[in-house]
Chains A and B, each alone.
Chain A
């Protein structure tokens, strides 16, 4: 596609529920990143995929958070037993994955998650 897309744009759920957030990266980009952005803050790294594998998941806050990218393209961030503190904007970014530190990450519009 022309850019990174994320669905849904907004998600409201109740405490304790399970949610899935989807990211469609730019076609051909092998690197995919998930970030969480709280109000008034910069994005915080959650997890990085190179192809199908999660190369670094050190930013995931706890084991309620999980992400997959089974075919090396679309990725899903899964949150179990949601808590009010999970409310944030979840951003996805992709890059060419050439491994250059100057590769540009292109961000999607984000999914705003609200846990009531």
Chain B
């Protein structure tokens, strides 16, 4: 069964600190992996996308890594800001030809950045 697991479930850090969120997946075949940010009461917004041939992708203070061999990804947030408080969801696109993106979502990590 295609699954995406994330850890930790929740995290509290002080403003200005760095943090790393983890994602393990069992989706196969694999096409790409995204990290989404979801603010409370809003829809998810894509932060990064990586295919199996990419092992790192940055978007400002967000850096995602991918190890396709171990099926692990991480999202590193540098110099956290209060506005980083949100849920971060790891999303994998299976590579089978379903004709559309049947995304597999993780349950998310809820990050709280404290002043």
Contact = CB atoms under 8 A, between A and B. Distances in A.
B58 interface: no
Contact of B89 (A31, A42, A99, A105): A42
A71 B78 CA distance: 45
Contact of B100 (A4, A55, A109): A55
B43 A93 contact: yes
A31 B43 contact: no
B22 interface: no
Interface in A66-110: 91, 93, 95, 99, 101-105, 107-110
Contacts of A109: 41-43
Contacts, number: 62
Contacts of B99: 50, 55-56, 99
A43 B100 contact: no
B100 A50 contact: yes
Interface residues of B, number: 25
Interface string A34-75: 000000111111001010000110000000000000000000
B44 A31 contact: no
Interface of B: 4, 31-32, 41-46, 49, 51, 89, 91, 93, 95, 98-103, 105-108
